[in-house]
Amino acid sequence: MERLQKILAQAGVASRRKCEELIQSGAVTVNGEKVTTLGVKADPAVDAIAVNGKTIRGEKKLYLMLNKSKGVITSANDPQGRKVVTDFLPGIKERVYPVGRLDYDTEGLLILTNDGEFANLLTHPKHHVPKTYHATVKGVPHGTALEQLQKGVKLEDGMTSPAEVEYHDVDTDKNEATIAITIYEGRNRQVRRMFEAVGHKVIRLKRIKFGELGLQQLGRGKFRHLTPQEVEELKAAAFKTHKVHKK
> What one-letter code names the amino acid at 246?
K
pLDDT digits (tens, 9 = 90+) for 69-97: 999 999 888 888 899 999 999 999 888 88
CATH class assigned to 63-125+213-246: alpha beta
Distances (CA, A) of 158 to 3, 137, 147, 153: 36, 23, 18, 8
- Under 8 Å between Cβ of 67 and 218: yes
Instruction: Enumerate long-range contacts of 35-44, CB under 8 Å, 24 or more apart.
Output: 35/4, 38/3, 38/4, 38/5, 39/3, 40/3, 40/4, 41/1, 41/2, 41/3, 41/4, 42/1, 42/2, 42/4, 42/7, 43/1, 43/2, 44/2, 44/7, 44/11
Distance from C-alpha of 205 to C-alpha of 202, rounded to nearest angstrom: 7
Decide if 103 is catalytic.
yes
- pLDDT averaged per 10 residues, the chain (length 247): 86 84 95 93 86 82 95 90 94 88 96 86 86 97 93 95 95 96 93 97 98 95 97 89 48
130-210 matches 63-125+213-246 in CATH topology: yes
Give me the pLDDT at residue 78, please. 87
Q: What is this structure's pTM?
A: 0.77
Written as one string, the DSSP assignment of 144-158 is HHHHHHHH--EETTE
> What one-letter code names the amino acid at 227?
T
Give me the pLDDT at residue 175, please. 96
Which residue, 183, 235, 229, is CA-closest to 209? 183
Give me the pLDDT at residue 246, please. 45
Distance from C-alpha of 15 to C-alpha of 26, rounded to nearest angstrom: 17
pLDDT digits (tens, 9 = 90+) for 42-65: 988 778 899 999 988 766 789 999
Give me the pLDDT at residue 133, please. 98
Domain 2-55 sits in which CATH superfamily?
RNA-binding S4 domain (3.10.290.10)
Which residue, 204, 24, 2, 8, is CA-closest to 107? 204
Written as one string, the DSSP assignment of 17-52 is HHHHHHHHTT-EEETTEEE-STT-EE-TTTS-EEET
In the chain, where are the structural domains located? 2-55, 63-125+213-246, 130-210
Give me the pLDDT at residue 178, please. 98
Distance from C-alpha of 112 to C-alpha of 199, rounded to nearest angstrom: 33
* Phi then psi dihedrals of residue 243, to 5 deg: -65, -40
Distances (CA, A) of 30 to 15, 101, 110: 19, 36, 36
Q: Which CATH number fits domain 130-210: 3.30.70.1560, 1.20.1440.230, 3.40.50.300, 3.50.50.60?
A: 3.30.70.1560
Which residue, 187, 53, 62, 50, is CA-closest to 115? 62
Q: Give the E-state strand segments of the chain in sequence order.
A: 2-3, 28-30, 33-35, 41-42, 49-51, 54-55, 63-68, 97-98, 107-113, 131-138, 154-155, 158-159, 164-171, 176-183, 202-210, 213-214, 223-225
Residue 134, strand partner residues: 180, 206
Catalytic residue (one of 47, 87, 103, 115): 103
